[in-house]
Amino acid sequence: MTRLTPSDNVCPICGSDNHCAVAQSVAVSECWCDTAVITDETIGRVPEELRGKVCICPRCAGPKSAQDAEPIISK
């Protein structure tokens, strides 16, 4: 498995594109996450050192079944 490093457009949980509007120089009000409900459980899956610094993807923010991916961000 390829280990990823933190990036503005990479989900820290699964490593896919997080579709972050801010990383694409678009207003946060235009981002998918502006209206998303993200649980504390989901936030807990983000490595502690990256919380509040990188965005997760819509898939990982979604239903529990989509949250089974193992984190692949290296520490």
Give the pLDDT confidence score for residue 56 in this predicted structure: 93
DSSP lists the bridge partners of residue 10 as 17
Per the structure, the complete domain to which residue 14 belongs is given by 1-75
Whole-angstrom distance, CA of residue 9 vs CA of residue 56: 9
Task: Please tell me whether the overall predicted TM-score, pTM, comes out greater than 0.85 for this model.
Answer: no
pLDDT tens, residue by residue, 41-71: 999 999 999 998 889 999 999 865 344 444 4
Whole-angstrom distance, CA of residue 40 vs CA of residue 29: 21
Give the pLDDT confidence score for residue 34 in this predicted structure: 87
Mean pLDDT of 10-26: 90
Mean pLDDT of 22-43: 89
Q: What is the mean pLDDT of the chain?
A: 79
The number of domains in the chain is 1
Whole-angstrom distance, CA of residue 64 vs CA of residue 73: 20
Give the pLDDT confidence score for residue 28 in this predicted structure: 86
Residue 51 neighbours by CB distance under 10 Å: 12
